[in-house]
């Protein structure tokens, strides 16, 4: 199907942005809702809703709230890992409309090939802002990771490999909050005194502002403080905003939705 035909078909399609969400940090869910609103303003689909694993509406509830003839679900997640491939499909199956309306789930936003370009652009921008020499800087791409799913680390690792190929910095490593190598080990093994930490995560939340920030020695930070530099020994550790807050993510969501590349759920 040609792109023009796919776009016309999307006029009868409902789009759900499926995020992990947070009940402890309401702003995380509000950010997703704001992104859904921006996509709705483009008038490419019949309706746009957001849904959450933690928060309301939940995934199945969002399906039942839609009146569209078919539904595309885009996981607003960093990888095709545990939540995208196990939790989300199971939750969609609880909808009353499951089996009555075609539902297609795409790959996670973090698995879109163009996210590597967005991440590289972000990294170069923060390095320029803080005067980092690419030949004397270590870049750590930090994902969540989990031993529960073997693919949860892949998108972060592939992005790190892409950084090496395009020469973002002379030393690039993928690290994880809940997998190996750990952020602490990667930081200890950094080849240079200046270290730029890029959270390979979709949105702000405690994983960025608390978990990553504290584990690199900053203590908890606010969204407004990022990017921020911490002087250490003879260099700095610089923490950037998460990749997923870049405005370019909006186009990746639309591309995934129009291509409808994922498996059909019902």
Give the integer Cα–Cα distance in Å for 53 and 18.
8
For residues 196 and 148, which has the higher predicted lDDT (pLDDT)?
196
Task: For residue range 31-66, list pLDDT tens digits in order.
Answer: 999 999 999 999 999 999 999 999 999 999 999 999
Burial tier of 252 (Cβ tally within 10 Å: 0-12, 13-18, 19+): buried
In this predicted structure, the answer to whether residue 28 has a pLDDT above a threshold of 70 is yes
With beta carbons less than 8 A apart as the criterion, state whether 229 and 236 touch: yes
Whether pLDDT at 6 is above 50: yes
What pTM value is reported for the model?
A: 0.91
Q: 125-166: per-residue pLDDT in tens?
A: 999 999 999 999 999 999 999 888 777 899 999 999 999 999
Taking alpha carbons only, the member of 118, 105, 122 closest to residue 71 is 105
pLDDT digits (tens, 9 = 90+) for 82-91: 999 999 999 9
Band the pLDDT of 2: cuts 50, 70, 90: low
Q: What is the pLDDT of residues 89-111, one digit of tens each?
A: 999 999 999 989 999 999 999 99
pLDDT at 7 over 60: no
Domains 3-110+246-259 and 115-245 share a fold: yes
Which tens digits make up the pLDDT trace of 221-265?
Answer: 999 999 999 999 889 999 999 999 999 999 999 999 988 733 344
Q: Where are the domains positioned within the chain?
A: 3-110+246-259, 115-245
Separation between Cα atoms, residue 190 and residue 193, nearest integer Å: 8
pLDDT at 115 over 80: yes
CATH topology (fold) of 115-245: Rossmann fold (3.40.50)
Predicted confidence (pLDDT) per residue in 160-176, tens digit: 999 999 999 999 999 99
* CATH architecture, domain defined by 3-110+246-259: 3-Layer(aba) Sandwich (3.40)
């Amino acid at each position: 199907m040609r792109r023009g035909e796919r776009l016309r078909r999307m006029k009868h399609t409902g789009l759900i942005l499926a995020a992990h969400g947070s009940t402890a940090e309401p702003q995380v869910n509000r950010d997703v809702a704001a992104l859904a609103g921006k996509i709705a303003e483009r008038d490419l689909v019949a309706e746009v809703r957001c849904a959450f694993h933690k928060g309301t509406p939940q995934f199945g509830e969002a399906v039942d709230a839609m009146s569209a003839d078919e539904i595309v679900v885009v996981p607003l997640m960093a990888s095709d890992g545990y939540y995208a491939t196990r939790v989300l499909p199971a939750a969609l199956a609880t909808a009353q409309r499951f089996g009555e309306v075609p539902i297609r789930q795409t790959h996670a936003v973090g698995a879109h090939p163009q996210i590597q370009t967005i991440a590289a652009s972000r990294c170069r921008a923060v390095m320029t802002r803080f005067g980092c020499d690419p030949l004397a800087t270590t870049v750590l791409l930090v994902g969540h990771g989990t031993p529960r799913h073997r693919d949860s680390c892949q998108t972060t690792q592939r992005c790190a490999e892409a950084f090496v190929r395009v020469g973002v910095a002379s030393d690039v490593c993928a690290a994880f909050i809940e997998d190996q190598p750990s952020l602490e080990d990667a930081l200890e093994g950094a080849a240079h005194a200046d270290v730029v930490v890029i959270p390979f995560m979709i949105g702000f939340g405690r994983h960025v502002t608390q978990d990553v920030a504290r584990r690199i020695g900053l203590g908890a930070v606010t969204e407004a403080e990022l990017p921020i530099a911490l002087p250490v020994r003879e260099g700095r550790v610089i923490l950037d905003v998460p990749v997923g807050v870049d405005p370019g993510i909006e186009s990746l969501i639309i591309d995934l939705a129009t291509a409808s590349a994922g498996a059909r759920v019902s």
